[in-house]
Amino acid sequence: MTLIELILVMAVLATVLAIAAPSLSRFFSGRDLQEEVRRFIAVTKFARSEAISRGVMMELWIDPNLRAYGLQPQGAANIEEDSKRTYRLADKLTFDVETESLDALGRAVILFWPDGSIDEQSVQTVRIEEDAESIVAIVQAEFGLGYEVQDEDANTVAMSRQTATP
């Protein structure tokens, strides 16, 4: 190969990358949201299995203000450090939970009983938002044994917020 051919190949590659870059940036920005949703669902499944295997209630707390959530046994006087887990949302992501489901600390709580069921007082829906257009709702499954993903568009969320506000 000559130097001229090599320069032409590099120019063609640079042009292709310049055209594909905007599409790739949108692809990678949505990845944070999907990865966080997968991790949250995995934590709920882990909390349920821990409640069953340990025979204690497990508490999955969600703090929208700190953009964090975590898992720990509920009510244990001496909570082992290895049984506590804390996760932080990626940059640009936020939690949205119903304000009436927040406790005195400003956290929403999901409680898993030792039989694997979810406490009735637990939060029903958790939304993880990247921006006004990228919203994923995580809702309690039909039989109350776990949580599942339900995609929502921005219009549905805006309408549900307007009807919930007195």
We report the CATH number of the domain holding residue 131 as 3.55.40.10
Torsion angles phi and psi, residue 145, rounded to 5:
-110, 5
Domain assignment of residue 131, yes or no: yes
Torsion angles phi and psi, residue 61, rounded to 5:
-100, 150
Domain assignment of residue 15, yes or no: no
Reference 58, options 46, 69, 47; nearest CA is: 47
**Torsion angle in degrees (nearest 10) through CA of 118, 111, 34, 130:** 120
Q: pTM for the full model?
A: 0.69
Domain span holding position 139: 31-164
3-state class percentages of the chain: helix first, strand second, coil last, to nearest 5 = 40, 25, 35
Task: Judge whether 126 and 36 are in contact, CB under 8 Å.
Answer: no
Residue 89 DSSP label: P
Report which secondary-structure segment, H or E, holds 140: strand 135-140
What stretches of 10-134 adopt beta strand conformation (E)?
58-63, 68-73, 85-88, 94-96, 108-112, 125-129
Domain assignment of residue 70, yes or no: yes
Q: What is the pLDDT along the chain (166 residues), one digit of tens a residue?
A: 699 999 999 999 999 988 888 777 666 666 778 888 899 899 999 999 999 998 989 999 999 889 899 998 986 555 565 567 888 888 888 888 887 778 878 888 899 999 988 988 888 888 888 876 788 888 888 777 788 888 555 434 443 433 333 3
Split into its structural domains, the chain has a count of 1
Domain assignment of residue 127, yes or no: yes
Q: What is the pLDDT of residue 104?
A: 78
Domain assignment of residue 20, yes or no: no
Which three-class secondary structure state does DSSP give residue 21? helix
Domain assignment of residue 23, yes or no: no
